[in-house]
């Protein structure tokens, strides 16, 4: 009986010691890296409900034909951002959102940054998106992409993924966020959103393989910090980033 009690006591002490060690290691790791445990799983429906009304479908007629993309409303008086490659040589666009259809004009573009500023005249009370801090984004963070994927009729499409890498470069842009959230034709100019509902980037392009390679779930996003910097340089006083 004494032997059994002694063994039980030793096992209990070992378990307590193991738990204490694990907690201690967690605290050391937290102190060394600044890492904190996540508050909980991403509430995708809540994030979508907060951001989707501010994402619009864009249709334009350009010299090469018809283009479709996405745009994000940044001010209640009708200022939006999209990709410059969506607009190409167009000077106006037809916008469709959850709250109606509008005509927007191009105010300014920065093709080198693949960004364009659009404005809806005489607009008021539009739902807006909140630009977040892309500098705080971490690899592995949950995200959702919201945009006009494949130019399908109805509400914007929503896809889910993570931040796959930071500081990526393509043939035309650098310093991009990489994500595995599905990005399709029509998503260009749409939103990449973090668990707080903040837009941390503007979806720009998806990687396309050549006949000798296969690519899946590799999309590139312009960080919100650059979006804010470029728009401010063009003359739009936009908060965030």
What are the pLDDT digits (tens) for 44-101? 999 999 999 999 999 999 888 899 999 999 999 999 999 999 999 999 999 999 889 9
pLDDT at position 207 is: 61
- Using a pLDDT cut of 70, give the percent of the chain over it: 80
- Rounded-to-integer distance, Cα 240 and Cα 225, Å: 8
List all residues 6 or more positions away from 43 whose beta carbon is below 8 Å from its beta carbon.
195
11, pLDDT greater than 70: no
203, pLDDT greater than 70: yes
As a whole number, the mean pLDDT across the chain is 83
pLDDT at position 96 is: 95
Task: Mean pLDDT check: name the lowest of 102-106, 194-198, 201-205.
Answer: 201-205
C-alpha neighbours within 13 Å on the C-beta side of residue 70: 35
Domains annotated for the chain, with CATH where assigned, are: 51-128 (2.40.10.10), 134-233 (2.40.10.10)
Phi-psi category of 179—alpha, beta or left, where left has phi over 0 and alpha has psi -120 to 50? beta
| Residue positions annotated with a catalytic role | 85, 114, 188
């Amino acid at each position: 009986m004494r032997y059994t009690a002694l063994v039980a006591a030793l096992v209990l002490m070992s378990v307590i010691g193991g738990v204490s060690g694990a907690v201690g290691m967690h605290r050391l790791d937290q102190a060394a890296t600044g890492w904190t445990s996540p508050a909980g799983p991403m509430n995708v429906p809540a994030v979508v409900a907060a951001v989707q009304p501010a994402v619009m479908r864009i249709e334009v007629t350009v010299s090469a034909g018809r283009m479709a993309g996405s745009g994000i409303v940044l001010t209640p008086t009708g200022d939006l951002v999209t990709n410059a490659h969506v607009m190409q040589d167009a000077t106006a666009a037809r916008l469709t959102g959850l709250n109606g259809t509008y005509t927007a004009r191009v105010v300014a573009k920065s093709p080198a940054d693949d960004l364009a500023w659009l404005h809806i005249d005489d607009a008021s009370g539009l739902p807006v998106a909140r630009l977040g801090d892309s500098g705080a984004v971490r690899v592995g963070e949950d995200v959702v992409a919201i945009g006009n994927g494949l130019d399908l009729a109805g509400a914007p499409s929503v896809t889910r993924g993570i931040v796959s890498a930071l500081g990526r470069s393509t043939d035309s842009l650098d310093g991009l966020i990489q994500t595995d959230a599905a990005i399709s034709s029509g998503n260009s100019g749409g939103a990449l959103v973090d668990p707080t509902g903040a837009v941390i980037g503007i979806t720009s392009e998806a990687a396309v393989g050549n006949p000798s390679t296969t690519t899946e779930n590799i999309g590139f996003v312009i960080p919100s910090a650059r979006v804010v910097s470029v728009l401010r340089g063009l003359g739009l006083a936009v908060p965030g980033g």
